[in-house]
Amino acid sequence: MNRILLFFCLLFGVYSCHTPSTTKTPPANIVSEFRITSTQVGAIRKGMTIKELYAALPEDRIKKLKTRTELSNETADYYYIYGDSSRLLLIVNTERQNDERSRISRIIVKDKRFQTASGIGLASTVGTIRTAYPHSQFLPSVDEIILYVPEIDANFEINKRLLPPSLAIDSTGEIAPDSIPAQTKVTDLSIFWDYSIKNLADKTFWKDLTHRFTNWVITQVPSMIILTLIFIGLLRLLNYIVKKLNKAAKRRVHLNESIDDAEGNKRIETLSGIILGVGKIFLWTIFVLIMLSKFNINIGPILASAGIVGLAVGFGAQELVRDFISGFFILLEDQIRTGDVAIINGTTGTVEKIEMRTTTLRDASGVVHIFQNGKINSLSNMTKGWSAIVVDIGVAYKEDTDHVNEIMKQVGDELMKDAAWQSILMGVDLWGVDSFGDSSVILKVKLTTKSGQQWAASREFRRRIKKAFDAQHIEIPFPQVSLNTGSGTGAMPVKIES
């Protein structure tokens, strides 16, 4: 009995040694390197970009080629992926050309070692594929018969020319998919990854979306924050530089005796505003373009279409273009500056702002007038370089005009010697008798002043003339009215009482 038990134990031990274990699994690296799933083909994951592909694989194992598509004459980017022994493994295609941030949308399997968990790959037959994936279905095509497997979004292609002619069901050579023998081998295997919104109900879609969003936050958000801080710093630096240039230019104008300070400062303020505005537009444009690229928005087509948009604007916005060109020449020719008193299209006011498209004017009542630069027909600058004003002085007919001229000359000389007006008043010219009015003789005086000071000088001159005439008993006439009651009526009695 003991011998029998010993015999069975030896027999079981020998059987156990020669029987392969059913729980043994292949190495993890082999499984992951050549495994095909719905979200991964070897080392390539669904949603991976070309930039990520270069980071995951050695660069010498990836070769980029441009190939013309079969259905159109357009070129597409194909990335050939090789193994360690220069053996072609996969061919990868992307959504967009010439963009490493574009996601991989198609994988063409070239190595038979790539298989699904069910052992399906390039070496599989139609029968094994349909057995492993009962939901697979044949799709119509031109030259091939396509067996589509929805579980992994794969197309297994069968070349019609390799099938026997007896399978043709009519004279056109069309083959019924159900008549294809189960032992027929596939010729090509392509994996398609669709990123359209129709996959919202797919858990893989949301998993991929979450992974991509997390990866985007980790890789892009810090750089976007740094970029924003740099942009804010550049804006502050631009303001600082413009202010420094403004002060330096004003200092040079002040030291240059041949340039009037007020005139130079107006020009500097105008140009400073233009430089600051153009600089801000430039910085904002660069910032927006870089931020768009951070959101994976290809700015190449945007820049390429700028020329077309510019042409359309040229035809549809001719008035806008005219305004900009007119504004450019207003600044280039230094016609007016900020702070000048000007007459634009008959409206008088102080120039508050000069931009490339518009000019802003504020009149004495505080009303703001905005003129399109292209519609400025007449422009008169009353304060450019120097200013002048003509003052009319009226005296009674009984006064000696020569004596009046002497008094006016004395007043002008005193005003020129006054310390408060010496730096403002540039000259007093007596023009003498100009005309005879209804009740006075009109004498004219021209006052030449620094820019914008003519009105203040004329007020001061009139004030001093009034005092001088009063001291010399020179009469300044005023309108008088005589009442006549008619010839039939006697004179009105006038009684004067002390």
Task: Render pLDDT for 337-374 as a digit per residue (tens, 0 to 9).
Answer: 888 899 999 999 999 988 888 999 999 899 999 999 98
Q: Write down the pTM of the prediction.
A: 0.43
- Highest-confidence range of 166-175, 263-272, 325-334, by mean pLDDT? 325-334
- Residue 246 neighbours by CB under 8 Å, 6+ apart: 268, 269, 272
Average pLDDT over residues 267-292: 85
Of 106, 101, 65, 57, give the one whose Cα is nearest residue 82: 57
Task: Look at residue 333 in the predicted model and tell me its pLDDT.
Answer: 82
Task: Look at residue 408 in the predicted model and tell me its pLDDT.
Answer: 92
In whole angstroms, give the CA distance from residue 363 to residue 350.
6
Task: Look at residue 23 in the predicted model and tell me its pLDDT.
Answer: 34
Average pLDDT over residues 401-424: 90
Task: Look at residue 161 in the predicted model and tell me its pLDDT.
Answer: 77
> pLDDT confidence of 239, banded at 50, 70, 90?
very high
- Residue 151 neighbours by CB under 8 Å, 6+ apart: 38, 133, 135
What is the DSSP code (8-state) at residue 167? G
In degrees to the nearest 10, what's the CA dihedral of 100, 105, 111, 115?
130
**So what's the architecture of 36-192 in CATH?**
Sandwich (2.60)
What does the block give as tokens for 347?
A: 């409206």
Number of other residues whose CB lies within 10 A of the CB of residue 447: 24
**Radius of gyration for the alpha carbons in the chain, expressed in angstroms and rounded:** 47
Higher pLDDT, 306 or 31: 306
Report the chain's mean pLDDT, rounded to a whole number: 80
- Residue 25 neighbours by CB under 8 Å, 6+ apart: 31
Of 110, 147, 113, 145, give the one whose Cα is nearest residue 128: 147
Higher pLDDT, 331 or 435: 435
> pLDDT confidence of 448, banded at 50, 70, 90?
very high
What does the block give as tokens for 99?
A: 């963009």
Identify the burial level of 361 via C-beta atoms within 10 angstroms of its C-beta, where 0-12 means exposed, 13-18 middle and 19 or more buried.
buried
Identify the burial level of 92 via C-beta atoms within 10 angstroms of its C-beta, where 0-12 means exposed, 13-18 middle and 19 or more buried.
buried
CATH topology assigned to domain 386-472: Alpha-Beta Plaits (3.30.70)
Higher pLDDT, 446 or 492: 446
Supply the DSSP string of 449-476, one letter for each residue: EETT-HHHHHHHHHHHHHHHHHHTT---
Domain boundaries, the chain: 36-192, 205-297, 317-384, 386-472
Task: Look at residue 6 in the predicted model and tell me its pLDDT.
Answer: 45
Lowest mean pLDDT among 158-167, 383-392, 465-474: 158-167
For domain 317-384, give its CATH number from 2.30.30.60, 3.30.160.270, 3.40.50.300, 3.40.50.1110: 2.30.30.60
Higher pLDDT, 128 or 171: 128
In Å, what is the CA distance from 47 to each residue of 71, 107, 204, 215, 247? 25, 12, 11, 11, 55
In whole angstroms, give the CA distance from residue 68 to residue 77.
9
pLDDT at 468 over 50: yes
Task: Look at residue 481 in the predicted model and tell me its pLDDT.
Answer: 65
